[in-house]
Amino acid sequence: MTERFAGSFTQQEPLSEEAIAAAEEVMRHGRLHRYNLAPGEAGEVALLEEEFAAFTDGRYCLAVASGGYALSCALRALGVGSGDPVLTNAFTLAPVPGAIASLGARPVFVETTEALVIDLDHLETRAVETGAKVLMLSHMRGHICDMDALTALCDRLGVAVIEDCAHTMGAAWAGVPSGRHGAIGCYSTQTYKHINSGEGGLIVSDDAALMARAILLSGSYMLYDRHRAAPPAEAFEALTGEVPNVSGRMDNLRAAILRPQLADLPARVARWNRLYGAMEAGLRGAPGVALIDRPQDEAYVGSSFQFRVPDWTAARIEAFLSRCASRGVELKWFGADRPAGFTSRYAHWAYADPDPLPQTDRVLATLIDMRLPLTFLEHDCALIARIIREEAARP
């Protein structure tokens, strides 16, 4: 009898009763705006910022309306403007070059390795060629490059690093939390990320001047003293007439939903990694399938799974995807000619006028991707792996 998977690759877990109760409390008192507080009240957003700063071992934190806003805010805080080149991974999602282009800046794409991380040799070449002084480093699908080597290279080149940690909240490199190697770390709380408020973002940095600019950019007016994870008042004094208000604040309702999830994140990470381990065990040695090796220094969050089929033609991949879909296994392919859903690649973003990147093209042409939501159990992953193995064995 042919097995079939009946679960959903896009269904998230329901919010906890604690998160629902926290949301109800905010809705009952009606003070949704982060600066609309009762006397003596800290507010859910300020408390979330304080807790997330502690979670990442960061000095300062700002909660904003989306992960994409966090990226563009970080660029503005670093002074990126129209026409400026900004380095970024070729293997990323559209909001990353979108944040760069939204400022009129120019995305400069860097090759991707078979480990799905940025190619450091090509990064150096592109930095020298373009004179770019900012790298927006995307930890795409949770894969973290050698952050010690990257940091040393960027320090030598005078390149400031923004870490896009949309897929690595809760991950680390060599014991340092993701987002804490560069000048600024940006995180997403969109539904498919590691904590879920529908939309939302967080920014972390130890740099008082950068964070003061980010807080003013987010629309703090003169109310920055109501933040609990912000730089001291003197960091703002020379900036208040200089930095524009580009409103993108998080509200108290979303923060209330996020705080219980943040407290539970280490347990969620452990569950994701058990799912990832089950999928990896099930696919190891599958015909034609190449798994992605994870470095020893990388503490990852296995919320998605990638593998390559390096010797397959496009026609064979399309037939394989169709057969898996008919058995309930929803896979994404980064080598398709056209964008599909959330899946696209650098060559599809004509607004960025990308140069051809043959190494990245070769890697993405055979790259398969799937979500591992926490609605799955380990036996679900074992079943999915069996289906993939069977279909991969067919010519």
Question: Residue by residue, what is the 3-state secondary structure of 301-323?
Answer: CCCEEEEECCCCCHHHHHHHHHH
Burial 333-371 (b: 16+ CB within 10 A, else e): bbbbeeeeeebbbbbebeebebeebeebbbbbbbbbbbb
Domain end residue (candidates: 209, 229, 260): 260
What's the Cα-to-Cα distance from 161 to each of 82, 106, 133, 222, rounded to whole Å?
A: 19, 16, 9, 29
Whether residues 75 and 182 share a domain: the answer is: yes
Split into its structural domains, the chain has a count of 2
What's the gap between Cα 390 and its chain centre? 32
User: How does residue 386 score in pLDDT terms, banded at 50, 70 and 90?
Assistant: very high
Give the Cα separation of 27 and 342 in Å (integer): 32
Give the Cα separation of 379 and 383 in Å (integer): 6
Pick from 284, 280, 370, 279: which is nearest to 333 by CA?
370
pTM of this prediction? 0.96
Whether residues 255 and 340 share a domain: the answer is: no
Encode pLDDT of 278-318 as tens digits.
999 999 999 999 999 999 999 999 999 999 999 899 999 99
On whether residue 343 sits in a domain, the answer given is yes
Give the Cα separation of 366 and 290 in Å (integer): 10
Whether residues 238 and 298 share a domain: the answer is: no
Whether residues 135 and 236 share a domain: the answer is: yes
Give the Cα separation of 107 and 98 in Å (integer): 9
Which residues constitute the domain of residue 215?
17-260
Radius of gyration over every alpha carbon of the chain, rounded to an integer in angstroms:
21
Q: Is the CB of residue 309 less than 8 Å from the CB of residue 367?
A: no
Using the predicted structure, report yes or no on whether residue 1 has a pLDDT greater than 80: no
What mean pLDDT, rounded, does the chain reach? 96
Encode pLDDT of 217-265 as tens digits.
999 999 999 999 999 999 999 898 899 999 999 999 999 999 999 999 9
On whether residue 346 sits in a domain, the answer given is yes
pLDDT at 395: 86
pLDDT at 340: 84
Whether residues 297 and 371 share a domain: the answer is: yes
Encode pLDDT of 116-149 as tens digits.
999 999 999 999 999 999 999 999 999 999 999 9
Burial of 98: CB neighbours in 10 Å, binned 0-12, 13-18, 19+: middle
